[in-house]
Structure 1
């Protein structure tokens, strides 16, 4: 399937989704729809062990498509926000890691999209923020919910109340991103990380992602019960037998995803 506002390619064990909505890769509903379609294709490809999302050019996503906003009313604005949230929910329900390779500005919807990913790798020139308040708006695609789950609540509120931007180094110090790399290196760093993850058992990776994401919405007691249940489920798989046998035999395991 061809896309108009994104590009989808497979490189090794990774699928790469490149956002391409010039001039600043604004997050229009059509972009979200295409990303959802791409994720559905990726989900049907077991050889793909991780997804990398990157922007074309100097921008990751520099915000929502503001030119589209004058056509919105209360009902359609809510529908727009829910549509973007559905795309982000698909990142979290995909049984493989989704990595943001942040190659430039990640503002508004771009920051929200990055926060919905499992891991964020930013280039040193990247810029982050939720500037919606400066337009009389508020974040609608997860900013008020994701940001205080990643950084201290007071810091999150300060960013949301002021619309300030953060550089990559400050974003790293707060925990908004997980790694900062030189300009031009985010994509290759993310691809190398997917390759590292791909050496492990895919079912175990999927269960780990599920345990972390669902556990964060539960009490510690319930999260620990979930972890134990998923731990037990893995003992139904061939990969556990292979991993343990390989360890005892001091050889490299050959995981099959079964």
Structure 2
């Protein structure tokens, strides 16, 4: 039984919701294990075409590490928990399906790092975001120092990390951290609309496109183009590619089965 994470699957879209709202969805050890369990199930479910991750209510998406729990840990336990947070954030990025972060409230520290590991970020107009670790005597340790500069550029990322600044959804949009801003009451519905728009396309194509983009962005353009070619070639013998061509010729919507 899961206490802090729920998952609802409907029409090919999985909605993961953090339900530890009384603690601003801070990442306790138990919650981290529950998240990884859910992600493992989703990764191998080919009926799921897109994923949304959000928090319950309107106050918090995820406030990062559970610092109250951390106070009671010795050094070894602390190191293991930090590693578990990093593993969990990486798990979102490694998920086969495209992932939309529906940022319903505060996303600080590890919470923003989690959102940065998703493919697309949609924020409530009332959300607050920030990599706040330097104000606590640490640095972002779950990918923030690497993913944020790749997303918005080195100079802007350094300024946000060095200042530990907490910014509004509008500022996050201007920085390029989030792709969409919507009103709080519309956030989940708009995320589902986007997820369904993505999910109607060939699932194997989505997987290979995500792989090509994520891996290619870590290399030079020549290597990236080779990665793209390899990803493309994996689709040539699929039933979905043939269905896409047939549907185009017959002027109808394709029916994809992920084969």
TM score, norm. by length of structure 1: 0.95
The aligned residue for residue 31 of structure 1 is 31
After superposition, give the CA deviation of every residue in 1:44-64 in whole Å (9 maximum; x if it has no partner).
Answer: 322211111111122101221
Deviations 1:203-232 (A, max 9, x none): 001000010111112221111001011111
In 2: Cα distance, 1:254 partner to 1:25 partner: 38
Quote the Cα distance in structure 1 between the aligned partners of 2:218 and 2:82: 21
Post-superposition CA distance 1:73-116 (Å, at most 9, x none): 55433322221111122212221011111100001111111111
Unaligned runs of 5+ in 1: none
Structure 1 CA distance, aligned partners of 2:56 and 2:14? 15
- Residue of structure 1 in register with 2:189 after alignment: 188
Residue 200 of structure 1, CA deviation? 0.6
Segments of 5+ residues of structure 2 without an aligned counterpart are: none
Q: How do residues 198-217 of structure 1 correspond to structure 2 at under 5 angstroms? A: 198-217=199-218
- 2:43: which partner in 1? 43
> How many Å separate the matches in 2 of 1:86 and 1:247?
41
Separation of aligned partners in 1, 2:184 and 2:115:
18
Match of 1:71 in 2: 72
- Over the aligned positions, Cα root-mean-square deviation in angstroms equals 1.4
Q: Which moved more, 1:62-71 or 1:18-27?
A: 62-71
Instruction: State the TM-score, normalized to the length of structure 2.
Output: 0.95
Give the length in aligned residue pairs.
257
| C-alpha separation in 1, matches of 2:135 and 2:200 | 45
